[in-house]
Amino acid sequence: MTVAETNWAGNIRFRAERFHEPRTVDELRRIVAAGRSVRVLGTGHSFNAIADTTGDLVSVAGLPRVVEPDGRAGTVRVSAGTRFGELAGVLDRAGLALHNLGSLPHISVAGACATGTHGSGVANGCLATAVRAVELVTADGSLVTIDRGAAHFPGSVVALGALGVVTELTLDVVPAFEVRQWVYEGLPTAVLRERFDEVMSAAYSVSLFTGWRTDRIDQVWLKRRGGPDAPGAWHGAVLADGPRHPVPGCPPEPCTRQLGVPGRWHDRLPHFRLDFTPSSGDELQSEYFVARTDAVAAFDALDAVRERIAPALQISEIRTVAADALWLSPAYRRDCVAFHFTWHPDARAVADAVQAVEEALSAFAARPHWGKVFSTPPEVVRESYPRWEDFRGLLGEFDPTGTFRNDFVARHFGAG
């Protein structure tokens, strides 16, 4: 049995009594139908107990691998456990691409979609916005397909693994494209405050990295599709003279190529290379989404508590995500700025820092990333999601006996 017993970060030890790695969908259907408490694990890259269960923990990594691009339809059919890095290679060879990627290509497609995982770009929705259809095994072992046209589709994509085990997804694809990546250093925060939208719209995907230590943003990563070379100076920041890692002092080798060297979309949109397996257990992460219209006020609120954030922080990343219509997406109906924190793996220091961040962002109806460390009370999270009750209704319909309702889901949506 190869199902991991902890998550990638090692801060969650799964409590499952039984681990399963079915080889066929029929085998999976039998496991689910027989289970009282079932959860599905993707690649285990979440930082909280969202995937945990005391019953049966199922991995879909052993199901037959499907990656079927269809250029004419503008889609790809993909098995749920496929990692983005794997999918991207096949798509690119077919002249196709995904609209965006997260910072790490090692994450499973279904797991990423289940939590609203995202990259950056003012016009780029989270990765789940590419989903056109979901095939899943529901609590009674039935295999159902939900297409984009279905009334409950918007509740069935970012679904926290609570509606069933996704076996396959159909995703929208676009023609393959090239990206060039540049890093600038030392963007004055005064400039960022004045020109936040201009800075974040300066490329297809823009990420800011800051340690909240000075009045400058440490690094700005620009990922551009076409256009001229990047100038040496920009908004008071200076073009980096060599490759950089987002965390100060770390060697840049695991990072995707910078310095404007053209590359395929999947070799530039993630910050980290697929052929470098990141060491596990060295970090925890948190992330909060606020409306982009509140970006500067939220930035200032965080800057005001930088002393409380600093003891736990490795690095912070600021990205944008376009609004979507997926009920539990952190970007539901609002263009967002996402404030991300990579923490040192010190649970107590992280808890203090998370509290400081949550207090600072409490005026902005911040939505926490479903797959990261947060302590926002469920009633506060609920208030920020207008379609909360609709999702609860969907849970009752799809999973009336609470097969997939682990502690995480019960805490937020009730025990059923």
Ligand X SMILES: Cc1cc2nc3c(=O)[nH]c(=O)nc-3n(C[C@H](O)[C@H](O)[C@H](O)COP(=O)(O)OP(=O)(O)OC[C@H]3O[C@@H](n4cnc5c(N)ncnc54)[C@H](O)[C@@H]3O)c2cc1C
Q: Quick one: 43 or 256, whose CB is closer to ligand X?
A: 43
Residue 68 has a CB neighbour count (10 Å cut-off) of: 13
Beta carbon of residue 108, minimum distance to ligand X (angstroms, whole number): 3
Contacts of residue 195, Cβ cutoff 8 Å, sequence gap at least 6 = 235
Q: Is 343 in contact with 349 (CB distance < 8 Å)?
A: yes
Q: Quick one: 118 or 308, whose CB is closer to ligand X?
A: 118
In this structure, what token pair is assigned to residue 339?
């404030």
Residues that bind ligand X (CB under 6 A): 8, 39-46, 50-51, 60, 80, 102-104, 107-108, 110-112, 114-115, 117-118, 160-161, 165-166, 278, 369, 371
Q: Quick one: 133 or 239, whose CB is closer to ligand X?
A: 133
Beta carbon of residue 212, minimum distance to ligand X (angstroms, whole number): 19
d(CA 328, CA 129): 12
Beta carbon of residue 19, minimum distance to ligand X (angstroms, whole number): 13
Distance of CA 206 to the CA centre of its chain: 16
Residue 251 has a CB neighbour count (10 Å cut-off) of: 9
Closest CA to 310 of 347, 368, 244, 356: 356
End-to-end CA distance of the chain, in Å? 32
Q: Quick one: 214 or 375, whose CB is closer to ligand X?
A: 375
Closest CA to 409 of 378, 385, 386: 378
Beta carbon of residue 355, minimum distance to ligand X (angstroms, whole number): 21
Query: Burial level of 374, CB count in 10 A (0-12/13-18/19+)?
Result: buried
Q: Quick one: 239 or 385, whose CB is closer to ligand X?
A: 385
Beta carbon of residue 194, minimum distance to ligand X (angstroms, whole number): 27
Contacts of residue 291, Cβ cutoff 8 Å, sequence gap at least 6 = 334, 335, 336, 337, 364, 365
Q: Quick one: 155 or 161, whose CB is closer to ligand X?
A: 161
DSSP one-letter code for 297? H
Q: Quick one: 44 or 85, whose CB is closer to ligand X?
A: 44
Q: Is 141 in contact with 16 (CB distance < 8 Å)?
A: no
Q: Is 135 in contact with 169 (CB distance < 8 Å)?
A: yes
Beta carbon of residue 282, minimum distance to ligand X (angstroms, whole number): 9
d(CA 321, CA 202): 14
Beta carbon of residue 213, minimum distance to ligand X (angstroms, whole number): 22
Q: Quick one: 308 or 358, whose CB is closer to ligand X?
A: 358
Closest CA to 336 of 221, 197, 218: 197
Q: Quick one: 218 or 239, whose CB is closer to ligand X?
A: 218
Sign of the C-alpha dihedral computed for residues 355, 112, 60 and 256 taken in this order: negative
Q: Which residue type is seen at 53?
A: T
Beta carbon of residue 208, minimum distance to ligand X (angstroms, whole number): 14
| Residue whose C-beta lies closest to ligand X | 111
Beta carbon of residue 103, minimum distance to ligand X (angstroms, whole number): 3
Beta carbon of residue 226, minimum distance to ligand X (angstroms, whole number): 23
**DSSP-derived 3-state class of residue 160:** coil
Closest CA to 155 of 134, 141, 173: 134
Q: Quick one: 20 or 369, whose CB is closer to ligand X?
A: 369
d(CA 227, CA 278): 32
Q: Quick one: 245 or 308, whose CB is closer to ligand X?
A: 245
Beta carbon of residue 66, minimum distance to ligand X (angstroms, whole number): 13
Q: Which helix (H) or strand (E) holds 210?
A: strand 205-210
